[in-house]
């Protein structure tokens, strides 16, 4: 990066800068060291790879123009009109920002004139792509919140959305920043154009694009390494990270990337949430589209981390963030500030900033979610649905009075292969609240887990996705028992390899990168292929048959110093198996599985012994790293307090009102939908499992017609399942 010696001619953002100090020679050295530290992670493409992307985009643009002309001919447009209608393919997201990594996909929008219908895009253009040489893995998601066609073109993954403009000709100098283009536009087209409009606005609102891009590359890499890069799971996605970095650049317009990374952590470790982050003041419009405005929308007042997109219609890109995920990210900001302070003072190097979080040593209690299915094709769809709803589980766990943090690791792990099936696992770390003057506290998470599984099965049924063999499992697991689920190298206390290639996934397989930076292995899914010498298979094969009415726990000794001797070993009974887990492991976990699909046998009821783990003493900072005191803290806080007009915020009286239990939307888009569902009471019948009587909820099948919408239905929506019985199973633990 070169220095920016000249002061900008204008101020960027809604406040004046904090500092206009020019970079020093040492800043240049630190920035060059930062670049070198990032190179081993594959964040930079070489010239050949960049040229290849441009060639692919040129081919795609030619295909779009050919297709638009063909549609005009099929609709009997005059030849003179067909020759001039035009069409465009524009990129947005990380590629448009110039921060894409090796192997990353490209987000693009196909812009067509008014004679081309959306149905044409998903029919005739889809067929044109299907017959095009070099295109693989073609699939259409027409009913998605933002409808998209996904495919691989000459080795480059592309997500292509569609927008139809109310014009006869798409000119070469089309300005997507013109709000009047949105007038009378279909809402799906507005959503499709929103990506380009937001990306372009961000680039127009930073004082130095080169410094912005390098800083954003560093922050995105850091966020992925620390496990907080996932819009779907309640952290932040690429657009949100870009806006936070852009705001930092506005406050320090002359700083180089090394300084900006440090200032990023300084600013947002001290940001007074829920004051929103804005790159410019929201503009009024007479188009009457829904925008983020807590003065008008009461639900907007309860967004915990608002980051507002700069293009109309303004939306909160961090809508999915919850109390837990915000707390986790703020602690990571504090940790990043401490580390970068050390780096800039010569006490450490940049590799320390990119050291991964050791998630599996962070908490004493975990919840393991498993999703299993019988075929690879079904499994890809099944894990996508389950993962999209995990943030609902996190939100519900947060509402438990004993839980302060519910931390999901944004990575899917392969489970032990269940016969010929496929298994994937997710892990949630749980931190419990300290309860004064209580010797023992019973925590029952049964309802929370059951509500989550109900939502997933209901959504699957309404999408006609539910197939035989699809299962969800849940278990409470203590840290000392994680080795039953994961290999030792994943659980190791200290990461020895600090610079792995990001093109490798967690189990060392080549992976394809998705738009949010996550990886899939070469087969396209996190499917089980557990080696014969894995910890799962090293467990003794001698176990009591699952047909027995009781299974007694076997206490496995360990050399770990962290394990305490006064822990009671949980037991399971009635023969219920967690998908993908060796039966022997169940002596160490508390199980809950739910909702077999139609045509599957319902396993027996599981009775779970209470756990007696040591109590987590107090609510501590997640990282334990103290904040570095800064001389400009007062100045910073003054800027933070001025960053938004108070008229946009709820009054103090409004904030004292009881918070409505609002849920998270079913989609990760800026445009959002209604609140979260609650589990309604169902008719029950008394059943006997293993000599025990219990009430079994029966799904109401009196209404069998599915929803036309793909949105998450409320709980009164029809559930077209053939009398599937969803059996509640206990997930309980006792805190001493």
For the annotated catalytic residues, the residue numbers are 94, 105, 107, 159, 220, 229
Helix extents (H) in 483-600: 488-491, 535-538
Angle at which helices 257-269 and 25-38 cross, to 10°: 80
Which residues contact residue 400 at a Cβ distance below 8 angstroms, ignoring those fewer than 6 apart?
Answer: 443, 445, 448
> What is d(CA 615, CA 437) in angstroms, rounded to the nearest whole number?
13
> What is d(CA 212, CA 208) in angstroms, rounded to the nearest whole number?
6
Find the Cα–Cα–Cα–Cα dihedral 333, 337, 343, 344, rounded to 10°. Answer: 130
> What is d(CA 336, CA 266) in angstroms, rounded to the nearest whole number?
9
How many other C-beta atoms are found inside a 10 Å radius of the C-beta of residue 610? Answer: 16
451 with 412: CB under 8 angstroms?
no
- The two beta strands, 441-444 and 589-594, are unpaired
> What is d(CA 533, CA 530) in angstroms, rounded to the nearest whole number?
8
Which residues contact residue 660 at a Cβ distance below 8 angstroms, ignoring those fewer than 6 apart?
Answer: 298, 299, 302, 675
- The two beta strands, 365-373 and 471-478, are antiparallel
462 with 707: CB under 8 angstroms?
yes
φ/ψ of residue 601, rounded to 5: -80, 135
367 with 430: CB under 8 angstroms?
yes
449 with 592: CB under 8 angstroms?
yes
Which residues contact residue 174 at a Cβ distance below 8 angstroms, ignoring those fewer than 6 apart?
Answer: 88, 111
- 3-state SS assignment for residue 720: coil
């Amino acid at each position: 990066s070169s220095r920016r010696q000249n002061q900008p001619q204008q101020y960027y953002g809604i406040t004046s800068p904090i500092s206009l100090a020019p970079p020093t020679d040492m800043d240049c050295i630190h920035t060059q060291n930062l670049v070198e530290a990032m190179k081993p992670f594959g964040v930079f493409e070489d010239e050949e790879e960049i040229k290849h992307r441009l060639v692919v985009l040129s081919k795609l643009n030619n295909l779009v123009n050919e297709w638009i002309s063909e549609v005009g001919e099929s609709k009997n447009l005059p030849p003179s009109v067909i020759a001039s209608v035009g069409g465009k393919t524009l990129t947005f997201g990380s590629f448009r920002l110039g921060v894409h990594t090796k192997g990353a996909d490209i987000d693009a929008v196909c812009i067509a004139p008014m004679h081309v219908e959306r149905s044409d895009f998903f029919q005739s253009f889809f067929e044109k792509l299907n017959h095009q040489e070099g295109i693989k893995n073609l699939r259409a998601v027409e009913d998605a919140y933002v409808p998209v066609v996904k495919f691989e073109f000459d080795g480059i993954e592309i997500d292509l959305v569609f927008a139809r403009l109310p014009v006869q000709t798409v000119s070469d100098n089309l300005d997507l920043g013109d709000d009047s283009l949105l007038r009378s536009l279909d809402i799906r087209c507005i959503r499709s154009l929103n990506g380009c409009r937001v990306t372009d606005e961000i680039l127009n609102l930073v004082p130095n694009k080169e410094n912005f891009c390098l800083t954003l590359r560093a922050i995105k890499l850091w966020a992925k390494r620390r496990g907080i890069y996932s819009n779907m799971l309640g952290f932040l996605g690429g657009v949100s990270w870009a806006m936070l970095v852009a705001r930092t650049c506005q406050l320090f317009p002359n700083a180089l990337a090394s300084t900006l990374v440090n200032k990023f952590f300084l600013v947002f470790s001290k940001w007074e949430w829920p004051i929103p982050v804005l790159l410019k003041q929201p503009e009024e419009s007479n188009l009457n589209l829904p925008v983020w405005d807590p003065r008008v929308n009461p639900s907007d007042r309860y967004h915990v981390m608002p980051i507002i997109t700069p293009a109309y219609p303004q939306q909160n890109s961090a809508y999915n963030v919850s109390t837990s995920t915000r707390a986790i990210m703020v602690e990571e900001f504090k940790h990043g500030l401490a580390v970068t302070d050390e780096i800039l003072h010569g006490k450490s190097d940049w590799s320390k900033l990119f050291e991964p979080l050791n998630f599996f040593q962070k908490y004493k209690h975990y919840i393991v979610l498993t999703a299993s299915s019988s075929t690879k094709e079904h499994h890809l769809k099944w894990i996508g649905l389950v993962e999209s709803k995990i943030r609902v589980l996190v939100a519900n766990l947060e509402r438990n009075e004993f839980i302060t943090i519910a931390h999901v690791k944004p990575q899917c792990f392969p489970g032990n292969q269940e016969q010929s099936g496929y298994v994937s696992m997710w892990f949630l770390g749980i931190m419990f609240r300290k309860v004064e003057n209580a010797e023992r506290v019973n925590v029952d998470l049964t309802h929370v887990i059951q509500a989550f599984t109900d939502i997933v099965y209901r959504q699957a049924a309404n999408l006609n996705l539910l197939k035989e063999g699809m299962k969800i499992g849940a278990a409470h697991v203590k840290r000392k028992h994680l080795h039953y689920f994961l290999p030792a190298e994943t659980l190791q206390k200290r990461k020895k390899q600090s610079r792995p290639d990001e093109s490798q996934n967690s189990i060392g397989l080549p992976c394809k990168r998705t738009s949010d930076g996550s990886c899939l292995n070469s087969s396209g899914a996190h499917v089980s292929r557990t080696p014969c010498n894995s910890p799962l298979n090293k467990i003794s094969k001698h176990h009591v048959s699952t047909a027995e009415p009781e299974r007694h726990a076997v206490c496995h000794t360990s050399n770990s110093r962290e394990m305490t001797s006064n822990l009671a070993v949980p037991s399971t009974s009635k023969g219920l198996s967690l998908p993908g887990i060796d039966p022997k492991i169940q002596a160490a976990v508390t199980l809950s599985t739910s909702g077999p699909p139609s045509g599957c046998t319902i396993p027996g009821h599981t009775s779970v012994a209470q756990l007696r783990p040591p109590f987590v003493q107090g609510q501590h900072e997640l990282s334990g790293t103290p904040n570095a005191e800064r001389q400009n803290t007062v100045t910073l806080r003054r800027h933070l307090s001025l960053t938004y007009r108070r008229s946009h915020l709820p009054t103090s009286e409004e904030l004292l009102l009881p918070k409505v239990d609002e849920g998270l939307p079913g989609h990760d888009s800026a445009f959002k939908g209604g609140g979260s569902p609650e589990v309604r009471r169902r008719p029950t019948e008394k059943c006997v499992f293993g000599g025990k009587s219990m009430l079994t909820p029966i799904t109401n099948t009196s209404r069998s017609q599915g929803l036309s919408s793909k949105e998450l239905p409320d709980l009164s929506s029809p559930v077209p399942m053939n009398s599937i019985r969803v059996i509640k199973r206990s997930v309980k633990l006792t805190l001493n």
